[in-house]
Structure 1
Amino acid sequence: MSAVRVDERLVVSGQPQLGDFGGFAKDGFAAIINNRPDGEHPSQPGNEAEMDAAKKAGLSYSFVPVTGSSITEADIRGFQSALRKAGGPVIAHCQSGKRSLMLFVLGEVLDGRMGAEEVQGFGRAHGIDLAAASDWLRTWNSQRPRVKGFFDPRTSSIQYVVSDPETQKCAIIDPVLDFDEKSGATGTVSADAILSYVKSEGLEVEWILDTHPHADHFSAAHYLKQKTGAPMAIGDHVVEVQKLWQGIYNWPTLRTDGSQWDRLFSHGEPFKVGSIDARVIFSPGHTLASITYVIGDAAFVHDTIFMPDSGSARADFPGGSARVLWHSIQGILSLPDTTRVFTGHDYQPGGRHPRWESTVGEERRTNPHLAGIDEAGFITLREARDKTLAMPKLILHALQVNIMGGRLPEPEDNGQRYLKFPLNALSGSPW
């Protein structure tokens, strides 16, 4: 195993043997970061084996798997988070140590502790060619729009700020209003973090966008409109979802014309984020109202497809359809291969760090629900998988808020707000 000391807290290396882990602990290391995806080579131990060996050796362990061609900012931040949480010196490894050093160096540049012009010299000083890191930075600096993801661990949701570096105008996509179902408490910590970022970057909020009425978290769209004055928008098929859930909730006074939003987008409708052209793709299947926002070279695909190691979204909600979802996914996959794909959730398979950015080409080639599968195969796979899933724990809480654009129920005569629960209205209980 080749090893290179980067600084007092980090050593990067090639693949260690499981028997080495006890020695690492004796040498004063506190943690292992595995940057190698499973299955790269038959000889590698793999994530589960490394996790078990680290536990036996008393080391903490993080799984931040990357390939050199698909590193994203989420990977860099995941690596930094693992370093912070280690509580002592760390050995980070891939096959040779190159990817581990790339993640470290890219984080240093993004945070302003190293200049982009210093990267290759830093690599040479440590015996590792970092030309790929310089290429990554050039690409990152040229991207329009800029995309900042905010992962919400309570709901595994990702919220986005999508900005135009020329005009400093931005859109906020799928923001989360915090909710604790045990106490009934609501909060704005997640939404306020977005506002803090917007302020720190000198951005102006031009749009507050939801891709669909969410079933697993409350939308913070209304709260953010109150704070920023920016218009709220969603797809025009939201009226179908309102009518469906109006019946489920027995809510005759609910306005089912979509008037809770400032703009209802139709399929193909163009708009702009600053100077960047954007358009809407109607993408139903997960819900009746789901849409994809294509902004510049970035597609925000909500709950259609997930990261390439995670498959696709469920299609068994009221109004959902695996067949319809398949056709929506094909529309997304017809975008250019280099289109960046940003998903609405990440459930961290294998315990890896949160990720949310891929490309159309990666999805087509490597997503197990798409690669080499036809429509009939997808429907069979998706419907079988959905039968194993319980309903989201917040679906009955969230829909009555989200079909109102994120507005909480009006206070009753005692000043208290109340949610309403229909009993036995949905199938999928995990008895």
Structure 2
Amino acid sequence: MKIVKINERLSVAAQPQMDDIAGLPDRGFANLINARPDGEQPGQPGSAAERQAAESAGLGYDFVPVTGATITEADVRSFGQALAAAKGPALAHCQGGTRALTLFALSEVLEGRMSAQELPALGRSHGFDLSAGLRWLERHMAQCPVVTGFYEPRTGSVQYVVADPATKKCAVIDPVLDYDEKSGSTGTASADALLAHVAGHGLEVEWVLDTHPHADHFSAAHYLKGKTGAPTAIGERIVDVQRLWKGIYNWPGLRDDGSQWDRLFAHGERFKVGGIEGRVLFSPGHTLASVTYMIGDAAFVHDTLFMPDGGTARADFPGGSARALWNSLQGILALPDETRLFTGHDYRPNERAARWESTVAEQKRANPHVAGQDEESFVRLREARDRTLPMPKLILHALQVNIRGGRLPEPEDNGRRYLKIPLDALSGSAW
């Protein structure tokens, strides 16, 4: 196996075989980074076999699968994080080595350690053509708005800061308030990371937006409003969700008029993030109130479409509907093919690195819940899949917070706050 040394921390290579991986520690390597998607070529070992061989050899292993046409900033950041976390020299590979080196070079540029103009020379000096990486940087710099995703690994959630680079105004979408169900502890580390990014880039928060009332994490919308003064917003059908859960929680005092938010968006309503126009698409199915935020060329599709290898979101929560979800997907997939789609969760199939950005064209081509499906086949597929899934472990905790815009319960006379958990209210137990 030919190995090309890039620097003291990184070397790149073409596809290694199992015997090659077993011998990597003897060649001084501590980590293997696989940048090649599974099933790319007949006879390819695949990530599961590679991981087993790497771990058997005492190597660290990271899986950051990309194709040249679909590299995203999340992929670049994941590669950089994998290299930074390696306990020693790392070998990164794809089919021939070019994608692995491209990910490294792009990571160096995004971290400010290299200029874009240095990419071609870096490639030539090691026998690789990095012109595609240069084109990626040109497209990346031209994209508007600038979208930064923050992955929260406990719940697989993705928070976003969406910025207009011309005005430095931004929106925060689906912020997470930390909650540990075992101890009952709450925290603000995830939301504070957003605030640190905003401050570090000189941004001003204009909106705090939730796409829907989440079932697997608490919303930090109320917390961020207190920190920034920015108005909060959600889709206007939140009132239907409030009325539904008001009954489940036996909560007669709950205000079910949506007044916990500053603005309730209707389908087709428009708003601004700096100078960039935003538009709201009503996207029910996962919940009664789900909306998609279309901001510039970026659509925040929450729990409708996951990454193509993750399919679509479940539709069996109270008020959910697989048929409604199919219709919502058609509205999203009718957007221009180049539209960037940002999902609300990633559960990392095959233990790959977290990803959250795709395009309409990529979803139509590669998502098995979309490609080749019609309404009836999708409904059968989705409902059959949902019957196998237990309810999210935080659904009864989270909804009583999230149908109030992220407000925790009021303190009782002893100064403590208490959640109320209705027993036998939902099916889907996993004994």
Normalised to the residue count of structure 1, the TM-score between the two structures is 0.99
Q: Which residue of 2 is the match for residue 174 of structure 1?
A: 174
User: How far apart are residue 82 of structure 1 and its match?
Assistant: 1.2
After superposition, the C-alpha distances for 1:268-300 in whole angstroms (9 at most, x for unaligned) are 001110000110000000000000000000000
After superposition, the C-alpha distances for 1:26-64 in whole angstroms (9 at most, x for unaligned) are 112101111000111002111111111111111111111
5 Å-filtered alignment, 1:186-225, equals: 186-225=186-225
Alignment of 1:357 with 2:360, yes or no, is no
After superposition, the C-alpha distances for 1:328-353 in whole angstroms (9 at most, x for unaligned) are 00000000000000000000000000
SS in 2 for 1:154: coil
SS in 2 for 1:301: strand
Structure 1 contact 170–207 (Cα < 8 Å) conserved: yes
5 Å-filtered alignment, 1:364-383, equals: 364-383=364-383
User: How far apart are residue 83 of structure 1 and its match?
Assistant: 1.1
| Paired letter, 1:307 | M
Give the whole-Å Cα distance in 2 for the aligned partners of 1:43 and 1:31: 23
Alignment of 1:396 with 2:396, yes or no, is yes
Give the whole-Å Cα distance in 2 for the aligned partners of 1:343 and 1:36: 22
Unaligned runs of 5+ residues in structure 2 are none
Alignment of 1:95 with 2:95, yes or no, is yes
Q: Which residue of 2 is the match for residue 337 of structure 1?
A: 337
User: How far apart are residue 3 of structure 1 and its match?
Assistant: 2.1
Percentage of pairs with the same residue: 69
Give the whole-Å Cα distance in 2 for the aligned partners of 1:225 and 1:390: 33
User: How far apart are residue 85 of structure 1 and its match?
Assistant: 2.0
| Paired letter, 1:252 | P
Structure 1 contact 3–97 (Cα < 8 Å) conserved: no
SS in 1 for 2:84: helix
Give the whole-Å Cα distance in 2 for the aligned partners of 1:410 and 1:21: 57
Alignment of 1:44 with 2:47, yes or no, is no
| Paired letter, 1:398 | A
Q: Which residue of 2 is the match for residue 239 of structure 1?
A: 239
Structure 1 contact 287–317 (Cα < 8 Å) conserved: yes
| Paired letter, 2:417 | R
Structure 1 contact 207–230 (Cα < 8 Å) conserved: yes
Structure 1 contact 146–165 (Cα < 8 Å) conserved: yes
Q: Which residue of 1 is the match for residue 78 of structure 2?
A: 78
Q: Which residue of 1 is the match for residue 164 of structure 2?
A: 164
User: How far apart are residue 21 of structure 1 and its match?
Assistant: 1.4
Give the whole-Å Cα distance in 1 for the aligned partners of 2:31 and 2:121: 27
5 Å-filtered alignment, 1:177-326, equals: 177-326=177-326
Give the whole-Å Cα distance in 1 for the aligned partners of 2:164 and 2:4: 39
Alignment of 1:149 with 2:152, yes or no, is no
Give the whole-Å Cα distance in 1 for the aligned partners of 2:57 and 2:217: 39
Alignment of 1:12 with 2:12, yes or no, is yes
Give the whole-Å Cα distance in 2 for the aligned partners of 1:378 and 1:198: 40
| Paired letter, 2:330 | Q
Unaligned runs of 5+ residues in structure 1 are none
User: How far apart are residue 126 of structure 1 and its match?
Assistant: 1.0
Structure 1 contact 159–173 (Cα < 8 Å) conserved: yes
Give the whole-Å Cα distance in 2 for the aligned partners of 1:43 and 1:3: 21
Q: Which residue of 2 is the match for residue 124 of structure 1?
A: 124
Structure 1 contact 176–190 (Cα < 8 Å) conserved: yes
Moved more, 48-57 or 419-428: 48-57
SS in 2 for 1:118: helix
SS in 1 for 2:159: strand
After superposition, the C-alpha distances for 1:292-339 in whole angstroms (9 at most, x for unaligned) are 000000000000010011100000000000000000000000000000
SS in 2 for 1:309: helix
After superposition, the C-alpha distances for 1:190-226 in whole angstroms (9 at most, x for unaligned) are 0000000000000000000000000000000000000
SS in 2 for 1:294: strand
Give the whole-Å Cα distance in 2 for the aligned partners of 1:86 and 1:230: 40
| Paired letter, 1:281 | L
Structure 1 contact 306–345 (Cα < 8 Å) conserved: yes
Moved more, 12-21 or 224-233: 12-21
| Paired letter, 2:270 | P
| Paired letter, 1:218 | F
User: How far apart are residue 2 of structure 1 and its match?
Assistant: 3.1
SS in 1 for 2:308: coil
Normalised to the residue count of structure 2, the TM-score between the two structures is 0.99
**Equivalent pairs, count:** 431
Structure 1 contact 2–96 (Cα < 8 Å) conserved: no
Give the whole-Å Cα distance in 1 for the aligned partners of 2:316 and 2:72: 31
After superposition, the C-alpha distances for 1:231-276 in whole angstroms (9 at most, x for unaligned) are 0000000000000000000000100000000000000001110000
Give the whole-Å Cα distance in 2 for the aligned partners of 1:113 and 1:62: 22
Give the whole-Å Cα distance in 1 for the aligned partners of 2:225 and 2:318: 28
SS in 2 for 1:74: helix
